[in-house]
Amino acid sequence: MVKGFSDNEFKNDAEIKDSKKEKKGLAAFLKGKKFTYTLPGKKQINIFGSIVLGLNIILILLVVLYLNNQEFHDFVFNIGR
């Protein structure tokens, strides 16, 4: 028995052509556009890193304040009602 494709297989080119319908909406708009992705620069990485670290530090401080300060705990509890 020979490996590979047989000559007796049914070719369904018509089904493949039917499945390729015209694109609609956003896909049709973006069909001709070419997008390129550029890696962020060192300055942009530092800015986003600083923002993330700053927000994490603020979150940790607020959690510690919430757990240790009863007045702040009551304030948060009353705002949440």
Length of the chain: 81
d(CA 33, CA 16): 25
pLDDT of residue 35: 73
Indicate if the pLDDT at residue 74 is higher than 60: yes
| Token digits of residue 34 | 């070419």
User: What is the pTM (predicted TM-score) of this model?
Assistant: 0.52
pLDDT beyond 80 at 4: no
pLDDT of residue 14: 55
* CA dist., res. 56 & res. 50, Å (int): 10
Q: Quickly state the pLDDT bin for 18 (edges 50, 70, 90).
A: low
